[in-house]
Amino acid sequence: MTDTPARLLKLLSLLQTPREWPGSELAERLGVSARTVRRDVERLRELGYPVQASLGAVGGYRLAAGKAMPPLLLDDEEAVAIAVGLRTAAGSAISGIEEASVRALAKLVQVLPTRLRHRVTALNAATVPLPGGGPAIDPELLAALAGAVAGPQRLRFAYRAADGAESRRQVEPHRLVATGHRWYLVAFDNDRDDWRIFRVDRITAAQPTGVRCPPRELPAPDAAAYVAGKLRERARTYRAVVVLPLSAAEVARRLGGAPVELEELDERRCRLRSGADTLEWLAFRLLTLGCDFEVEEPAELVSHLRELGGRITRATGPAIGPATGPVAGPGEGPEGGEIHRPGVARCPAGSDGGR
């Protein structure tokens, strides 16, 4: 590569990868000598790029943080991925991020090559982000929590519980987990000597202590699994057990990561266990799956679904089209007989399983 400007851009692109580059590897990538690499590094420094060099057998060059943000050199996939992320950020629960994401997306589109600009423009025209509806999150608070996690260092903050009770906490932060409409901090609570999850929108006055803390082993495969398990435990007002004519993988896909337990019965059936504070929410979750289901428990959910079915029947009025016989009442077959097993509500969504 003999064109110096093009070579400098290529070198800058390589250095933006978060790693150290041995001079010999850079020379091989650029097709020049190690001496030319050293000269090009000096040119980048003269242009204001903070290129650091370390000596030794494992030494090399890396781009350090500077006072100004240098231009990023992205490949096609990276540019489109950033555009998608900026477009969907408007639906985030982080306060004030919508305007910033729109400004950043406009700057990105302005400099995209034509082949990519068409793809991103089509994406913008075809998608509308729907706000998640969760409580707004202060981005400065989120950054402070993330900094404490990265430390890692102990953190103090005020916390408001679900019943409104205020308390002061000192924790060892582990991870931040975003569920789509809420953010949670997974941390070890020093005062309670146990792991806890904290809703970020209920945290105020977060102050890193500067005291570093050694890593602790989380009692779960990862932070996301731990949060999902804790959310399942909390939803104890009503616990539903339902059999679905779908594989566990398909149910998980349709629920989009909702905190439920799935038990594979066979290739075409699974058992779902889910909790909620209201019967209405349990019914909504089941009906939006778009398939038949059988409620094994609780009896209150069976009664609620029957009441809901009657309400829907009354709301839709008489059937339109050729009459095929009297409409069966809740829980009755064509001859007035019971079609459900005792204690089990069968709710058909269609003869093809709702697909």
pLDDT computed for residue 170 by the predictor: 97
Which class for 148: exposed (0-12), middle (13-18), buried (19 or more C-beta within 10 A)? buried
Tokens of 326: 């009297």
Domains in the chain: ranges and CATH: 4-63 (1.10.10.10), 76-126 (no CATH), 139-232 (2.30.30), 235-315+339-347 (no CATH)
Q: What are the residues whose beta carbons fall under 8 Å from the beta carbon of 186, sequence distance 6 or more?
A: 173, 174, 175, 176, 177, 195, 196, 197, 218, 223, 226, 227
**pLDDT of 332 over the 50 cut:** no
Least confident of 80-94, 149-163, 338-352: 338-352
What number of other Cβ atoms are within 10 A of residue 246's Cβ?
A: 24
Residue 1 has pLDDT above 50, yes or no: no
* 330 pLDDT higher than 80: no
The reported pLDDT for the residue numbered 101 is 80
The larger pLDDT score, comparing residue 308 to residue 235, is at 308
Specify the amino acid at residue 35: R
Say whether pLDDT at 329 is over 80: no
Q: Is 49 helix (H, G, I), strand (E, B) or coil?
A: coil
pTM score: 0.53
Mean pLDDT along residues 23-28: 91
Quote the tokens at residue 142.
């989120």
Greater model confidence, 50 or 333? 50
Q: How confident is the model at residue 296 (pLDDT cuts 50, 70, 90)?
A: very high
Residue 57 has pLDDT above 90, yes or no: no
Task: Give per-residue pLDDT as tens, 220-272.
Answer: 999 999 998 888 777 567 889 999 999 999 999 898 777 788 999 998 999 99
Is residue 301 pLDDT above 90, yes or no? Answer: yes
Q: For 125-154, what is the mean pLDDT?
A: 81
Which whole-number Å values give the CA distances from 135 to 102, 141, 165, 182, 312, in the listed order?
Answer: 21, 14, 18, 7, 32
Q: Note the pLDDT of residue 156.
A: 96
User: Is the pLDDT score of 4 beyond 90?
Assistant: no
What pLDDT is stored for residue 334 in this prediction? 39
Distance from C-alpha of 308 to C-alpha of 20, rounded to nearest angstrom: 63
Most confident of 138-152, 160-174, 223-237: 160-174
Q: Where are the alpha helices (DSSP H) in the chain?
A: 4-15, 23-30, 34-46, 76-88, 97-111, 114-126, 139-150, 223-234, 248-255, 279-287, 299-316
- What percentage of the chain carries pLDDT values higher than 90? 37
Do residues 81 and 89 lie in contact, with contact meaning Cβ atoms separated by under 8 Å? no
Q: What is the pLDDT of residue 341?
A: 43
Using 50, 70 and 90 to split pLDDT, how confident is the model at 2?
A: low
Please give the mean pLDDT across all residues of the chain.
Answer: 82
Please report, as a single letter, which amino acid is at residue 235: A
